[in-house]
Amino acid sequence: MYADVIIDISHEKLDRPFQYAIPKRLEGTIRPGSRVVVPFGGGDRSMTGYVTGLSDTPEIDPSRIKDITGTPQGELAIEDQLIGLAAWMKSNYGGTMSQALKTVIPVKKKQALKLKKTICLIPAEGEAKDILDDMCARKNHSIPKERLLRALINDRELSWDMVRNKLMIPAAAIRDMESKGLVKIIEEREFRLPTGNLPEEEERPMLTPEQMEVLETYKKRRDEKKPFLLYGVTGSGKTEVYLQIIEEVISGGRQAIVLIPEISLTYQTLVRFYRRFKDRVSTINSRMTPAERYDQFERAKTGDISVMIGPRSALFTPFSNLGVIIIDEEHDDSYKSGQIPRYHARETAIQRGRMTGASVVLGSATPSVESYERAEAGEYIRLDMPHRVSKRSLPHCEIVDMRQELKRGNRTMFSGLLSEHIKDRLKKQEQIMLFLNRRGLVSSVSCRECGHVIKCPHCDVSLSLHRGGRLTCHYCGYSMPQVKSCPNCGSAYIRGFRVGTQSIEDELIKSFPGIRVLRMDADTTGGKDGHRRILEAFSNREADVLLGTQMIVKGHDFPGVTLMGIMIADISLNSSDYRGGERTFQILTQAAGRAGRGDIPGDVVIQTYQPDNYSITSAAAQDYESFYARESEYRKLMKYPPFSHMLSIMISSEEEGQAAGRAAAIKSFIDEMSVIGAVVLGPFMAPVGKLRDVYRRVVYVKNTNYDRLVFIKDRLERYLLNERGYSKAYVSFDFDPMDFM
Ligand code: ADP
Ligand code: ZN
Ligand code: ZN
């Protein structure tokens, strides 16, 4: 056996793997990411390196390949751990070592941290007024200082920017007052958590028997080094379980990472962690500048914090003694990176766990088919919480067949049943959520005479009709005015289907006079806390209905909501990839879980054109097992993940001929390799065949053995390096893709 070893990443010339032989005594202990000692260069100097991959074929004359000397002893520095992880990612997902390193190690940017400075008055009001009088009594006293003191007597605290820019006070004057002990200047990072203003320690709830059992099992079995899958219905109290796991971990001097999809990373979610862990916890998110994230990572490294909460990239927090990685909503698509290396945070977390001894807890009410399958196979330890806390019942779900509604002459978006329920809630003054599953929704414009669809001239997708009457491309941003007649046949009968939250709002107001609607979608959540404002208003019962897309179903708890209406359930079933059914099931189950969180049991109405589809019927029954049974049958039959693995190779070029030519060459290269069990499909036009004027082709390879796909990728990468005919076509890899754009 041979190992590819990378020696030193900071060194441009050494930023590539060298092959070494694995001596018999080390076989089995060395895997990608292992740190090894190797002889290097003419003098065979001992150097430490990282294994990036294994293979059984020598690249050069085997007699010239040196042996690995051994594995280094002792604790690894945190950077070493992360470099090892990067090496594993590079080998497992493709791309270059430096792309992998940039993903795991944030680069320090020379960019000043934005500090929020506040000027506070120190003396009490009376004393301050005396000082002001004294000051004014003096001749030639400083007018700016007087102005500042007056302002501070009014407000006690003023922001630095305001004082400098509005009151026009020179910095020297402020500093002088500071040195005299009149004011103090507090510098805070803008993103520091408002821990100071939090309500005092909340009371620890008494754990439910289910929570207790789950925690016991976790403690008993974590030394088995297998990931845990916490499968608990919505409202079963998973967060409390996370909190207690973290508490135990940090009391043992170790640290915790909690991954939460960005969309659920709201104040409401975070506050539970802040309350419990105070200033030991920090968070990162995508709105922060690189410098701000860097700063949070520094705090982690120096031991200033013990808990990091964030989206996918928080996985790389440089904690040196990591005890646990928790991934909430582990099924969420956002855990898969869209950038090279296209890693999955779940797999990568498990790898980091393996390398550091941290346990991994995956939590979900609707586990991914992948994780559930691994738990069934005994690779993960399952922890179940099938009941809601304090015996709140799961909501009552009903499916409405919208085709029947149409037959009965109902042309509105609200079925008879949903209308009745809405009227009933309005009467009882209970709250309603209406959910529109937007994924894949096309508000395209087409000609009713000839069927012509208006498409983006740069992308192979239809344009969407927006409120102001403009047609916009969601992929590249191209926009043009709505057409008056069909460019194909000249007919004036050209119309848009506008099924969006906007049109539902319009219809609600028309059908239910006096109804108060809050709409939450990309249009209404602009600005820094657009989200929070809408949620707060709804929570304060300033509206009867909260209407929105995905954003409203993630993690918000509104005890007043007793009705959840799902406007059109089947939209994500029609998307072109194999995960449509799973997504539909997950989003419907989550949406349904939002109703009846308080004391009154809730109702859920699911409107659909495919009432018999198992994703919809199992979601209505809140029956994961029956969904899983059907879905896994289908995936096995079609050889889709997790029962097989898939490598998607995307070939893109501004010249269509280059893309097509390289795709064909790749296909035959892989065919010729004839790897055992490999099924090669394509080349095809990608689902979006042209994007921002770039032509896109794909080749898919399936194999039940992931390592064989890695092998194919490695070979192909080498082949592409030397192949010159199609240099204008770019090739990228995606393992077990989740986004089939
Ligand atoms: P999940 O994350 O599984 O959807 P949560 O952790 O949000 O569930 O819990 C649902 C609600 O139940 C929350 O309001 C939470 O504060 C409350 N809760 C959790 N555990 C307990 C408990 N042991 N006793 C009482 N209330 C609890
Ligand atoms: Zn476009
Ligand atoms: Zn036409």
Secondary structure class of 189 (helix, strand, coil) = strand
Secondary structure class of 60 (helix, strand, coil) = coil
Give the number of whichever ligand sits closest to the CA of residue 451: 3
DSSP 599: S
Residue 638 phi, psi dihedral angles, 5° rounding: -90, 0
H helices of 140-225, in order, are: 143-155, 160-165, 171-179, 209-221
The finding on whether 240 has its CB within 6 A of some atom of ligand 1 is: yes
Looking at residue 16, its pLDDT comes to: 74
State in Å: Cα 638 to ligand 3 middle. Answer: 38
* Cβ contact 149:123 at 8 Å: no
Q: How many Å apart are CA 586 and CA 333, to the nearest integer?
A: 11
Looking at residue 201, its pLDDT comes to: 63
What is the Cβ-side half-sphere exposure of residue 652, based on CA atoms within 13 angstroms?
15
Looking at residue 595, its pLDDT comes to: 80
The finding on whether 332 has its CB within 6 A of some atom of ligand 1 is: no
pTM (two decimals): 0.76
CATH number belonging to domain 2-79: 3.40.1440.60
* Contacts of 719 by beta carbon, 8 Å cutoff, 6+ apart: 669
The finding on whether 211 has its CB within 6 A of some atom of ligand 1 is: yes
CATH number belonging to domain 393-441+497-635: 3.40.50.300
State in Å: Cα 589 to ligand 1 middle. Answer: 18
Give the number of whichever ligand sits closest to the CA of residue 490: 3
Q: Which amino acid would we find at residue 343?
A: Y
Residue closest by Cα to atom 9 of ligand 1: 237
Looking at residue 188, its pLDDT comes to: 66
**Which whole-number Å values give the CA distances from 112 to 54, 99, 185, 186, 413, in the listed order?**
43, 25, 18, 17, 52
H or E element that contains 583: helix 580-593
**For the CA atoms of 564, 569, 571, 573, what is the dihedral angle to 10 degrees?**
130
State in Å: Cα 503 to ligand 2 middle. Answer: 24
Residue 238 alpha carbon, nearest atom of ligand 1: 3
Q: Return the structure tokens found at 359.
A: 């346990």
The finding on whether 559 has its CB within 6 A of some atom of ligand 1 is: no
Q: Is the peptide bond before 32 cis (omega within 30 degrees of 0)?
A: no
The finding on whether 33 has its CB within 6 A of some atom of ligand 1 is: no
209-390 fold: Rossmann fold (3.40.50)
Q: How many Å apart are CA 733 and CA 645, to the nearest integer?
A: 13
**Per-residue model confidence as pLDDT tens digits over 1-45:** 999 888 765 555 666 788 999 999 998 888 766 778 999 888 888
Q: Where are the domains of the chain?
A: 2-79, 115-189, 209-390, 393-441+497-635, 645-735
* CB environment 63-92: b (16+ within 10 A), e (fewer): eeeeebbeeeeeebebeebbbbbbbbbbbb
DSSP 208: P
Give the number of whichever ligand sits closest to the CA of residue 273: 1
Residues near ligand 3 ion, CB 5 Å cutoff:
447, 449-450, 452, 486, 488-489, 491
**Locus of tokens 């999809």:** 261
H helices of 621-723, in order, are: 624-638, 656-673, 706-722
Residue closest by Cα to atom 18 of ligand 1: 237
Number of H helices, E strands in the chain: 21, 29
Residue 328 alpha carbon, nearest atom of ligand 1: 2
Alpha-carbon Rg for the chain in angstroms: 30
**Per-residue model confidence as pLDDT tens digits over 448-478:** 777 788 888 887 777 877 767 788 877 777 8
**Per-residue model confidence as pLDDT tens digits over 568-590:** 777 665 545 678 889 889 989 88
Secondary structure class of 332 (helix, strand, coil) = coil
Choose the residue to mutate in 389, 392, 597, 622 for probing ligand 1, maximizing ligand atoms within 8 Å of C-beta: 389
Q: Return the structure tokens found at 234.
A: 């919505």
3-state per-residue secondary structure call for 242-288: HHHHHHHHHHCCCEEEEECCHHHCCHHHHHHHHHHHHHHEEECCCCC
DSSP 205: P
Residues of the chain with confidence (pLDDT) below 70 = 8-15, 32-33, 74-76, 98, 106-115, 188-202, 392, 438-443, 467, 497-499, 522-523, 525-529, 555-556, 571-577, 597-598
The finding on whether 235 has its CB within 6 A of some atom of ligand 1 is: yes
Looking at residue 689, its pLDDT comes to: 86
State in Å: Cα 448 to ligand 3 middle. Answer: 7
Would the CA dihedral through 184, 185, 188, 190 be positive or negative?
positive
Looking at residue 28, its pLDDT comes to: 84
The finding on whether 205 has its CB within 6 A of some atom of ligand 1 is: yes
Q: How many Å apart are CA 715 and CA 717, to the nearest integer?
A: 5
What is the architecture of the domain spanning 645-735?
2-Layer Sandwich (3.30)
Residue 154 phi, psi dihedral angles, 5° rounding: -70, -45
- Cβ-based neighbour number of residue 209 at 10 Å: 8
Residues facing residue 255 across a β-bridge: 322
* Cβ contact 659:695 at 8 Å: yes
DSSP 483: P
Largest alpha-carbon pair distance within the chain?
95
The finding on whether 244 has its CB within 6 A of some atom of ligand 1 is: no
State in Å: Cα 455 to ligand 2 middle. Answer: 8
Q: Which amino acid would we find at residue 269?
A: T
Instruction: Please determine whether the domains at 209-390 and 393-441+497-635 fall in the same fold group of CATH.
Output: yes
